[in-house]
Amino acid sequence: MGDDPSRRREELDALRTGIELGMTLIDTAEMYGDGRSESLVGEAIAGRREEVFLVSKVLPSNASRKGTVRACEASLERMRTDRVDLYLLHWSGSYPLEETVRGFEDLLAAGKIRAWGVSNLDPEEMKKLVALPGGMACATDQVLYNLSSRGIEFDLLPWSRKSGISIMAYSPVEQGRILGNKILKQVAQRRGATPAQVALAWVLRQDGIIAIPKAASAAHVRENRAALELRLGVEDLAELDREFPPPSGPAPLEMI
Ligand SMILES: NC(=O)c1ccc[n+]([C@@H]2O[C@H](COP(=O)([O-])OP(=O)(O)OC[C@H]3O[C@@H](n4cnc5c(N)ncnc54)[C@H](OP(=O)(O)O)[C@@H]3O)[C@@H](O)[C@H]2O)c1
């Protein structure tokens, strides 16, 4: 979002509709549109900063101690705010994690972020992270999770639950690719819902998981908000399990 000037009004409307409906967590990153997504978010939240929970991310190539601080300051400027509620390392790169954690701690001390976390870290990397000094302060691991990418259920999800670290599920409707699935459509029809609502209700069926669908139109935002009222039944879940089987063993963490 924020890339195409001709869509700007519609995207601002989508973000503001979400805030009005109580979908107040907004996820962005310095990488998205090379800063243009953060600028769009800044415009959408102008005058409403207190209502939203802002999440942004530092690129691994910027994630040295000083680079993390500089990247965050640039994000704050683009979003026209003085703090990020949750600041994430987008994925692990060549800087040692302890350096990035030091950068996060500098930002916390300066009041520029309220919490920090990571994204796309697999269970082994997470274990190393929490063993570092200050590593236990990690609030979340943002990872790919949806009906067709269930690998985290085998290891990362049980581990993060035990460790008190939330999971943010990105691409919860698989970027729209699963929405034409026959079984998903059948379940949706039976429940008087749409495939997107079933896919989101499925991600949200368990505690400790946050879903961050991207929706660039107010109509999609409204549809997604209504997924919060949908509770899938045992029969729905069994049918979805047959079509989208849970993992039977460990697998490398999937990324988009
Ligand atoms: N940490 C990471 O590495 C990482 C990677 C990828 C994504 N993310 C985050 O996760 C967010 C979502 O991921 P994503 O954009 O990859 O995938 P997604 O949310 O699964 O899918 C977005 C696509 O689904 C469509 N859509 C949304 N609601 C719909 C509905 N109710 N009915 C039909 N289509 C619908 C959107 O269309 P419209 O745009 O037309 O509404 C868009 O094309 C991103 O915005 C980003 O913040 C993080």
DSSP 8-state assignment for residue 58: E
The model scores a pTM over 0.75 = yes
Q: What is the pLDDT of residue 57?
A: 98
Go through the chain and tell me how many residues it has: 256
Q: What is the pLDDT of residue 122?
A: 98
3-state helix, strand, coil in the chain (%, to 5): 50, 15, 35
Cα–Cα distance for residue pair 40/108, rounded to 1 Å: 25
Cα–Cα distance for residue pair 186/188, rounded to 1 Å: 5
The CB of 62 under 6 Å from ligand 1? The reply is: no
- Counting residues of the chain whose pLDDT is more than 70, the rounded percentage is 100
Average pLDDT, integer, range 189-197:
98
Q: Are 139 and 105 in contact (CB under 8 A)?
A: no
Contacts with 61 (C-beta within 8 Å, 6 or more apart), sequence order: 93, 94
63: how many CB neighbours lie within 10 A of its CB?
25
pLDDT digits (tens, 9 = 90+) for 56-98: 999 999 999 999 999 999 999 999 999 999 999 999 999 999 9
**Where is 42: in which H helix or E strand?**
helix 36-44
Q: Which of 180, 158, 176, 154 is nearest to 167 (CA)?
A: 158
pLDDT-derived band of residue 191, with 50, 70 and 90 as boundaries? very high
CA of residue 25 to ligand 1 center, whole Å: 14
Q: What is the pLDDT of residue 166?
A: 97
pLDDT-derived band of residue 30, with 50, 70 and 90 as boundaries? very high
CA of residue 176 to ligand 1 center, whole Å: 7
CA of residue 170 to ligand 1 center, whole Å: 8
DSSP 8-state assignment for residue 113: B
Average pLDDT, the chain: 97
Q: What is the pLDDT of residue 52?
A: 98
